[in-house]
């Protein structure tokens, strides 16, 4: 090689090397969820927006590795270990307690940011809400403690609802407490709540058939990502059988449920993105308090109400966060 060519090579080689290193050094974030990407695209979009607020844009200065279990909770531990093997710098353990526990079991050092609907202290994820400790923090929607409130709202708008089906996933860690609260509040209102279970997408159809067999006249969806993931077929069934129902987040009412009540799940995923961004900047999860919602949404679908021959009371309409016409 001639001297001039050699010097040219020396001058340009670091530029090529720096580009390669920049690509290699781009942080990789794991995103773990028990549902499926098709029906949870709204959650992914909110998570990306949160990351962007923290200064990280997918494909520009951060890579996101997605792992979906498509309704199979048993796959979550394997998927979490796979993300650790991928050398991610943080894990967004989204969906609920099962994802958070899977990530927690896979690593005690990589920052974990969860999104759950139950109490993270009770389920051993953090030491306290204000001082999480260790490598785990996140956002708590507290949606699973509102099942009784949903029963009450449903009976106000659909006063003829007497036998209310609670559609839930028994593998959810908060299922037992959520079921008890719904049944206790229904009993106080002179109503009855019975449970139909679905542990995976394949059991949804059978659970819905149980609603008919047990003469259910209305339904409440439990706070579970599998149930939210399958909101399409659930609400098609409800429409076919003229069943008024309430979901735990806005997406149910948008898809055709009579109403929904609970915090904003898109807010939760957005905040999770912000927190993951903070960990990428070096903030320790132990120094990030568990976030909690301050606003609860009541969304009423008037089109569905009209199809069911129902007229929501003016007081509830006036208090609604959103009315779909």
pLDDT digits (tens, 9 = 90+) for 242-255: 999 999 999 999 99
Q: What is the pLDDT of residue 11?
A: 41
Q: What is the pLDDT of residue 16?
A: 32
C-alpha radius of gyration, the chain, whole number? 23
For tokens 């290699």, the residue is 24
Residue 260 and residue 320: Cα distance in Å, rounded?
10
| Residue 63 in this model has a pLDDT that exceeds 60 | yes
Q: What is the pLDDT of residue 7?
A: 35
Q: What is the pLDDT of residue 200?
A: 92
Contact 166, 220 (CB under 8 A): yes
**Interval 82-111: pLDDT, tens:** 999 999 999 999 999 999 999 999 999 999
Q: Above pLDDT 90, what percent of the chain?
A: 87
**Interval 253-282: pLDDT, tens:** 999 999 999 999 999 999 999 999 999 999
**What confidence category does residue 144 fall into, taking pLDDT thresholds of 50, 70 and 90?**
confident
**What confidence category does residue 27 fall into, taking pLDDT thresholds of 50, 70 and 90?**
very high
Q: What is the pLDDT of residue 24?
A: 54
Average pLDDT, whole number, for the chain? Answer: 91
Higher pLDDT, 15 or 59: 59
Domains and CATH numbers, the chain: 3-142+265-287 (3.40.50.2300), 144-262+296-324 (3.40.50.2300)
**Interval 179-225: pLDDT, tens:** 999 999 999 999 999 999 999 999 999 999 999 999 999 999 999 99
- Burial (CB < 10 A; 0-12, 13-18, 19+), residue 177, is middle
């Amino acid at each position: 090689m001639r001297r001039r060519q050699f010097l040219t090579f020396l001058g340009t080689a670091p530029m090529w090397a720096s580009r390669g290193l920049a690509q290699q050094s781009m942080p990789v974030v794991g995103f773990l969820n028990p549902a499926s990407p098709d029906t949870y695209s709204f959650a992914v979009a909110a998570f990306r927006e949160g990351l962007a607020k923290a200064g990280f844009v997918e494909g520009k200065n951060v890579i996101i590795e997605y792992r979906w279990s498509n309704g199979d909770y048993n796959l979550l531990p394997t998927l979490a270990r796979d993300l650790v093997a991928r050398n991610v710098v943080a894990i967004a353990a989204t969906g609920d307690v099962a994802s958070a526990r899977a990530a927690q079991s896979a690593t005690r050092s990589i920052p974990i940011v969860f999104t759950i609907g139950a109490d993270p202290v009770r389920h051993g994820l953090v030491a306290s809400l204000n001082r999480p400790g260790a490598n785990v923090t996140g956002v708590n929607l507290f949606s699973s403690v509102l099942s009784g409130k949903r029963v009450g709202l449903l009976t106000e708008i659909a006063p003829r609802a007497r036998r209310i089906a609670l559609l839930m996933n028994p593998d959810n860690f908060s299922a037992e407490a959520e079921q008890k609260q719904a049944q206790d509040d229904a009993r106080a209102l002179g109503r009855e709540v019975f449970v139909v279970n679905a542990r995976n997408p394949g059991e949804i159809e059978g659970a819905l058939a149980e609603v008919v067999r047990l003469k259910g006249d209305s339904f409440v969806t439990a706070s579970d990502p599998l149930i939210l993931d399958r909101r399409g077929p659930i609400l098609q069934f409800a429409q076919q059988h003229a069943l008024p129902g309430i979901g735990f987040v806005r997406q149910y009412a948008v898809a055709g449920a009579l109403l929904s009540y609970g915090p904003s799940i898109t807010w939760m995923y957005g905040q999770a993105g912000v927190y993951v961004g903070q960990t990428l900047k070096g903030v320790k999860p132990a120094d990030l308090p568990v976030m909690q919602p301050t606003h609860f949404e009541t969304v009423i679908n008037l089109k569905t109400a009209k199809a069911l021959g129902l007229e929501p009371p003016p007081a509830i309409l006036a208090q609604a966060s959103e009315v779909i016409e």
